[in-house]
Amino acid sequence: MAPRAIITGAAGLIGQYLVQTAPRWAPGWDVKGLSRAELELTETSKVTAHIHALKPDLLIHCAALSRTKDCEQDSERARRINVEATAHLAQLSQDIPFIFLSSGEVFDGKTGWYSELDEPNPINVYGQTKLEAEQAVLQNPKHTVVRIVLTAGASEHGDRSFVEDMCRAARAGKAITLYADEFRCPLPAGVIARAIWELADCKQTGLYHLGGSERLSRWEIGEVLLPWYQELKGCLVKGSARTHVGSFRPADLSLRCDKIQRLLSFPIPGFREWLAGRPRRGADPWDYLGGSP
């Protein structure tokens, strides 16, 4: 019988890609995706019974309250989902590998190119809850934390990735302000899924950073996407983070990924490199293949 892997957040962007890519990148696993519709992770007793019934050999935890605004507006809900539910799942997985998807938002963004050795200093509720969840997970030496930053891709309902958010706003006739002084290292969800499956296979635990090899401003990201998404033309506005109103946003969340790169069978691509390698005519740039172009 094949070992069983459970993926939480299977209706989310990365969870969806992990399930979809399993036949290619994890053919030896019996993969079961869990969405919120199937199991509410804050209902502790139901979660305990469900996980015990499934008897997983690996649990990859992708589910989260990940929109910064939502976390700021309801910090208690953010804590229940991002911290308490994660700690409970980690406890239920105390004897098996557990991979938790965290975020570069644990950093304040003042310097950029963060390594796993740099000291976290979150400046918003989302980052704080992710850091607390990391600390709970890493108490177990069998467990793993992977920090990501900005994920591109196509979700089932078209409402999960930053690219989908931009396109939806453009189709509604809204202007999209992109900061030229806010930096990220975006990566397609297919690449993240492949890296996570390879990390699970090599059984190397601990803390890892996983981001694209190229540091781009939000404005540069928008410019890169223009040839792919015609609806964005005329909608992008160049702005500055100095004018931002709302929850705190780290200025530079570029990540050093040397540690995880040494374990992977493929080079982590930059965002522009990935898109340059995608076939243009009628193709989806966020295909499920993952890896390098």
* 3 state SS of 5: strand
For residue 196, the number of C-alpha atoms closer than 13 Å in the C-beta half-sphere is: 34
CB 257 within 8 A of CB 214: no
What's the rounded Cα separation, in Å, for the pair 257 and 264?
A: 11
What's the rounded Cα separation, in Å, for the pair 24 and 27?
A: 6
Token look-up 């890896």 returns 291
Token look-up 């990566």 returns 187
What's the rounded Cα separation, in Å, for the pair 261 and 267?
A: 7
Concatenated DSSP letters for 253-264? --B--HHHHTT-
CB 211 within 8 A of CB 242: no
CB 273 within 8 A of CB 187: no
Give which of 12, 9, 14 is closest to 197, Cα–Cα.
Answer: 14
List the beta bridge partners of residue 184. Answer: 216
What's the rounded Cα separation, in Å, for the pair 291 and 98?
A: 23
Q: Which CATH number fits domain 4-276: 3.40.190.10, 3.40.50.2000, 3.40.630.30, 3.40.50.720?
A: 3.40.50.720
Rounded-to-10 torsion of CA 161, 164, 266, 90 = 20
Q: What's the angle, vertex CA 161, arms to CA 109 and CA 246, rounded to 5?
A: 45
Supply the Cα-derived Rg of the chain in whole angstroms. Answer: 18
Dihedral sign for Cα 152, 273, 239, 150, please.
positive
What's the rounded Cα separation, in Å, for the pair 251 and 244?
A: 11
Token look-up 């946003």 returns 249
Give which of 175, 159, 176, 181 is closest to 67, Cα–Cα.
Answer: 159
CB 216 within 8 A of CB 271: yes
Q: What's the angle, vertex CA 18, arms to CA 17 and CA 24, rounded to 5?
A: 95
What's the rounded Cα separation, in Å, for the pair 278 and 14?
A: 20
Q: CA dist 261 to 1, 117, 210, Å? A: 31, 16, 8
What's the rounded Cα separation, in Å, for the pair 137 and 184?
A: 25
**Helices H / strands E in the chain, number of each:** 11, 12
What is the full per-residue pLDDT of the chain (293 aa) written as tens digits? 899 999 999 999 999 999 999 999 999 999 999 999 999 999 999 999 999 999 999 999 999 999 999 999 999 999 999 999 999 999 999 999 999 999 999 999 999 999 999 999 999 999 999 999 999 999 999 999 999 999 998 877 777 789 999 999 999 999 999 999 999 999 999 999 999 999 999 999 999 999 999 999 999 999 999 999 999 999 999 999 999 988 899 999 999 999 999 999 999 999 999 988 876 655 677 765 554 44
Structure tokens belonging to residue 114: 């963060």
